[in-house]
Structure 1
């Protein structure tokens, strides 16, 4: 290994080259000036193809930029590949995208793994996983706009439950406090996955009604997130047999935010893939959320 994690989904989930910059410029066409309030403790952003969810993800990062970029983004995403440790903190090195390299904050990565009772320092879980990689171009674009570098701590979750959320949320908070690091947690998740391609159709609806029905189901979960209610979120997911893919990261963001003094959460944008694809074979919900002190 040369210390670089190479892109696994550039050119598929998001463009490479000039097309990526043009897409980001379009997403951030309404971007304001970088702020210095630093009230935002965490954000939720989707990780599908940019054509479907990129605008929604950009709303999270726009809010963070206008609030003030942190030193380090701790980014938690689901492990879709099954490789590596169930709770895998990327230890050190750089992650590469078509926009360049982002440095891993090795110091806080090691501290999180040490303070956690369940996390391991592990690269393998991240090698082909897209859920964290797709967040990086947003961060890189805004860091360049601000004229400074930021670091990342990628954490891939193969286990997602209340206990994992509590453990990691506390570990991230304690590590950031111990090192005096200014941190924002990013929970990378999509919401309901509906349709024959996913083998999940808990209700039937006409094509034109489907986005509204999916939104109703997703909002049962989103309401719990906005209330900082980790156990309530997982209870709703179990009761509905919901197909949200990254609840552990969201739970971690809530726990960290509570400890960091967050008082409010806001839903910034919601959409579904149907708005773009018009396909009922596979429909996914996407939400942008931030949590603030």
Structure 2
């Protein structure tokens, strides 16, 4: 098989293309993580959820997920990212053999990818589609950094606009891989994209635990002076992360409630389908292996604070997961 390298197409714009500068930035963000109550890295960490925006926005939040990773014995990293640029009715695999980063390349696990491809359930990305998509690329430098000097391979999986039921199907398919002691899963997702530029202006008029219904703000309906838009966005996102916190819920129940939440609020969580696949995989491990997953959210931030209808922001959240 010929060597096909995916270029670091967003380096120099979304993050630094200077290896030394990028390495220093990643080190600084990781060093700044100051968790309380948990000893980092998290022993037995099997997955993380982290954002994929430009590093100047989401880099510090993503560090909280990556700092939690226990790299001991990990040889394979799945990366589940949403498709932003073309419609995908299922999931797709890369045709590349290697992914470039400014701080060192990452080889793909061609054996595992071929096993997945042989199921007939996956499409294949073109190189153009692969390089245009940022949701997976934005995790590559962090993966290379935290596994510095270690021999790992990656399995990128692009996740399309799929139903909860199809998320469960792919989760079941991936669950035997994610259950392996030598495998980690990275799930790529930003949270609420708020503002007219995103065609999303959902607003809660009061803080939780109010039962007042949310509604869409418009030019003719201003937010309450006592409850700023950015606090409503925080409530909206935390409603999602609370549903996705395990325990007390099971992964199967959380997956179901998350789908209902998305249907009700339409929250623009771009990685909702990769998150759904992960929870589908954990639900399968609950059924077949008696697993009791833990999901803990450790950091939340917004790109800016929205006060008016013409403001906009993107939210970022990080979590670690044990099966």
Match of residue 105 from structure 1: 109
Which of 282, 286, 290 in structure 1 is aligned with 2:316? 286
The residue number in structure 1 matching 2:153 is 151
Would the aligned equivalents of 2:42 and 2:69 in 1 still touch at CA under 8 Å?
no
Q: How many angstroms apart in 2 are the aligned matches of 1:112 and 1:181? A: 19
- Counterpart position of 2:167: 165
The 1:44–1:194 alpha-carbon spacing in structure 2 relative to 1, beyond 3 Å, is same
Larger Rg: 2
- Asked if 2 retains the 8 angstrom alpha-carbon contact of 1:274 and 1:280, the reply is no
Q: Are the counterparts in 1 of residues 64 and 318 from structure 2 also a CA contact under 8 Å? A: yes
* Shift, 1:114, TM fit: 3.1
What's the counterpart of residue 264 of structure 2? 239
- Equivalent residue, structure 2, for 1:118: 121
Instruction: Write out the 4+ residue segments of structure 1 that deviate beyond 6 Å after TM superposition.
Output: 31-34
Give the 3-state SS of the residue equivalent to 2:196 in structure 1: coil
Superposition CA RMSD, Å: 2.8
C-alpha distance 8-282 of structure 1, shift in aligned 2 (>3 A):
farther
Render the CA deviation track for 1:207-240: whole Å, top value 9, x for unaligned: 9823221111112211221143112111101111
* Matching residue of 1:55: 60
Cα 1:123/1:183, change in 2 over 3 Å:
farther
**Match runs of 1:1-293 below 5 Å:** 2-17=3-18, 18-30=20-32, 37=43, 39-65=44-70, 68=72, 70-82=74-86, 86-115=90-119, 118-124=121-127, 125-144=129-148, 147-175=149-177, 182-203=182-203, 204=217, 205=223, 209-226=228-245, 227=249, 228=251, 229-258=254-283, 259=285, 261-274=291-304, 281-293=311-323
Contact 2:6 2:96 in 1 (8 A): no
Q: Give a deviation string over 1:124-168, Cα, whole Å, max 9, x none.
A: 432210000000111111111xx3121111111222321232122
What is the CA distance between 1:77 and its match in structure 2?
Answer: 0.8
Deviations 1:28-80 (A, max 9, x none): 1157998694x222211000111111111111111014x64621111111111
Report the CA distance shift for 1:175/1:22 in structure 2 as closer, same or farther (over 3 A). closer
**C-alpha distance in 2 between matches for 1:20 and 1:207:** 41
List runs of 5+ in structure 2 lacking aligned partners: 204-216, 218-222
2:147 is paired with a residue whose SS is: helix
Check whether the contact 1:40–1:291 (CA below 8 A) recurs between aligned residues.
yes
**Structure 1 residue 181: Cα displacement:** 6.6
Deviation at 1:186, TM superposition (A): 1.3
The CA deviation at 1:201 is 0.9
Contact 1:164 1:248 survives alignment (8 Å): no
Instruction: Compute the displacement of 1:193 (Å).
Output: 0.5
| Greater percentage in helix | 1
Shift in CA distance, 31/282, structure 1 to aligned 2, threshold 3 Å: closer
TM-score computed with the length of structure 1 as normaliser: 0.87
- For 2:121 and 2:161, locate their aligned partners in 1 and report how far apart those are by CA, in whole Å: 10
Q: Is the 8 A contact 2:5 2:96 kept in 1?
A: no
Conservation of the 8 A alpha-carbon contact between 1:112 and 1:175: no
Deviation at residue 187 of structure 1 after TM alignment: 1.2
Matched residue of 1:291: which SS? strand
Contact 2:53 2:190 in 1 (8 A): yes
CA distance in 2, matches of 1:268, 1:57: 10
TM-score (norm 2): 0.79
Q: Distance in 2 between matches of 1:60 and 1:208?
A: 30
